[in-house]
Structure 1
Amino acid sequence: MIRFAKYESLTAFKKEVSSFLEQDEAANNLLLGVLQSLSEQDATPLLMAALWKNDDLGLVLFQTHPKQIILSKPTALSSQDIHELGQKLVQTVQPIPGFIGEKKITTELALYVSQALGTHAKIHMEQTIYKLEKVKNTLQTNGKLRRVIASDHAVIKEWIYQFCQETNQPLSLDEASIKATFLINKGNLVAWEVNEELVSMASATRPTQHNITISYVYTPSNQRKKGYASDCVSDFTQRLLDRGYQTTSLYADQSNPTSNYVYRQIGYEPIMDSIVIQFQ
């Protein structure tokens, strides 16, 4: 028997679900990282909810972004459980823009919701979540990792714009400029530099107790297939481990075999398939 619970208090929600999410920080890096970054002084999340099965937590649902509800890594849920959850969502949550979560459960839930609402469910992106505990490879290129600074803004703005275009998350140049400023000021954006030229970048985000996530991995087209992204991510990952994180994680687009190969060579292991589904 399942029970669907919605929460109004961020503090109460954190207390209820954090230990469940922390059982797999890497797989839950998106939901857990966003949740832990918020306080009661921030805007109230659009949705805080949990699915209970036989008095045990089975799934956490969290929404701060208008286009998607984040689903945690689930426990063993039957099709009947998913259908009952879909029914509860349709009855109590409006609007339901889409989901991001473990592929099988998310796909089944989206299919039920789309049929109940009479909408079309569209796959926006299919990704693999990777986790690393130890860097395997050694650096291959004659370069160095350095922190990105304000004077790099023009380059980084263009790279963020291109990165978002390639990952089907388009934004304007003005929005890319704002994002570049934010990431630079936050201090966790790095670049691989060869002969005083930036050739690849990566960022760290969503730190949790033992894990931190790498994102915004990008190399401009004229610098690809030279090993720069591999060295950038590898060196950056090692530095994050040296800071005290036990693991690092990242999302990789399944349609890009090159990046998936590179991450595996560094030491990243696939732990969960993730899918983004939006309703139209």
Structure 2
Amino acid sequence: MPQLRRIDTAEGFLARAGPFLSAHEPEHNLPLGLLGRLLDEPRLYGFDPAFVIAEDAGSVVGCLLRTPPYGVILSRFESLEAVDRVADAVLDMHPGLPGAVGPADVVGRFASAWSELTGVRAHLKVRQRVHAASAVYETARAPGTMREAGPDDVPTVLDWLDGFAEEALGEAPHREEAEAAYRRREADPDGAWLLWDDNGPVSLAGYGNPTPTGTRVGPVYTPPEHRGHGYATSLVADLTVERLATGLAFCFLFTDLANPTSNAIYARIGYEAVADWDQWEFS
């Protein structure tokens, strides 16, 4: 029977669950990258984070973390039975949980258990795929060049973050959330906002929240009027080359499985599928 352990700090959680997460680093790039930030800024989103580890015979078989007000992030689980126990264990910690994200089989099991425990409706919001690149293929280059976003670009970046939220996430644009996302990335010493510039900015990409040997790329957004020219392809390719040249082993990114265009673009660059992750919403 899996045993559950609650952990109060990112340091304590990493000490116990870090080896388990790092054994499948590409799949766990989201929690690993977030944990790196939490070590330096425990209340990254304004609230205390929460951590739970599932163990069997002294070995970690799965874990979750949450940075309120957002939902929980689940790792892979060696035992789906442990997922049910985790859902029950965090009920008193997060009675108003808005959602969950994680490996497709795990988060689906969690969503079902959560719905049964609470009576709230759970619905699948986005099917995603985790990709990793350790090298970049030669691709046709778009006109223009990559550069870092500067102070004069902030209004454009914020507008495009609103556009990304509306198109990719199905969320109504909220300028304050875009501003908060921009500031968090700007404050990340290992991250940046980058633009592809062709007589002006035409495409946006960010990176940051490094893992032990990699970094996560995203969001990536090209406004409709600039699509079809290969700008995002060239931007992500150059960004990936630059990050790998610093000594990183991987760059990671998430794609929406409902968007075949982006999945094909990243495959041409050199990104390979690692795992399917789903995002569920509770209401």
Determine if the TM-score, normalized by the shorter chain, exceeds 0.5: yes
Q: Which runs of 5+ in 2 are unaligned?
A: none
1:191 aligns with 2:195: yes
Does the 8 Å contact 1:202/1:215 carry over to 2?
Answer: yes
Alignment length (residue pairs): 277
Asked if residue 237 in structure 1 is aligned to residue 256 in structure 2, the reply is no
Q: CA deviation at 1:15?
A: 1.0
Extract unaligned runs of 5+ from structure 1.
none
Alpha-carbon distance in 2 for matches of 1:197, 1:213: 25
Query: Is the aligned partner of 1:54 residue 2:32?
Result: no
Q: Give 1:81's aligned residue.
A: 82
Indicate conservation of the 8 Å contact 1:157/1:179, yes or no: no
Is the deviation greater in 182-191 or in 133-142? 182-191
Aligned partners of 2:15 and 2:142: how far apart in 1? 46
| CA distance in 2: counterparts of 1:41 and 1:51, whole angstroms | 25
Alpha carbons of structure 1 residues 41 and 204: separation in structure 2 relative to 1, 3 Å: closer
Aligned to 2:19: 19
> In the aligned structure 2, how far is the partner of 1:192 from the partner of 1:144?
6
Which digits, 9 at most, give the CA deviation of each residue in 1:172-215, with x for residues without a partner?
Answer: 23443454455456561111111x21111111111122010000
User: Residues of 2 paired with 1:202 and 1:41: CA distance?
Assistant: 23
Match of 2:231 among 222, 228, 231: 228
Q: What does residue range 28-39 of structure 1 map to in structure 2 within 5 Å?
A: 28-39=28-39
- With over 3 angstroms needed to count, the CA separation of the structure-2 counterparts of 1:249 and 1:6, relative to structure 1, is same
Greater shift, 144-153 or 34-43, is seen at 34-43
Partner of 1:112: 113
Name the CA distance, whole Å, in 2 between partners of 1:17 and 1:35.
11
Q: What is the TM-score of this pair, normalised by structure 2?
A: 0.90
Given that 2:129 and 2:256 are in contact with CA atoms closer than 8 Å, whether structure 1 keeps it comes out as yes
Q: Distance in 2 between matches of 1:92 and 1:146?
A: 43
Distance 1:156 1:119 in 2: 36
- 1:220 and 1:66 map into 2 onto residues whose CA distance is 29
Paired residues of 2:42 and 2:49 also in contact (CA < 8 A): no
| Deviation sequence 1:94-120 (CA, Å, 0-9, x none) | 343321100111101210220121111
Give the distance between the partners of 2:40 and 2:229, measured in 1 at CA: 46
> Matched residues in 1 for 2:71 and 2:184: separation?
22
Cα distance, 1:59 vs. partner?
Answer: 0.8
- Retained in 1: the 8 A contact 2:55–2:62? yes
| Counterpart pick for 2:172 among 170, 173, 176 | 170
Q: 2: distance between equivalents of 1:182 and 1:13?
A: 22
RMSD: 2.0
Whole-angstrom distance in 2 between the partners of 1:173 and 1:109: 31
Distance 1:256 1:22 in 2: 29
2:241 is equivalent to residue 215 of structure 1: no
In the alignment, which of 240, 255, 271 is matched to residue 258 of structure 2?
Answer: 255
Q: CA deviation at 1:22?
A: 1.2
Secondary structure of 2:217's aligned partner? strand
Please say if residues 52 and 86 of structure 2, whose CA atoms lie closer than 8 Å, have aligned partners that are also in contact.
Answer: no
Task: Indicate conservation of the 8 Å contact 1:50/1:57, yes or no.
Answer: yes
Write the letter of the residue equivalent to 1:45. D
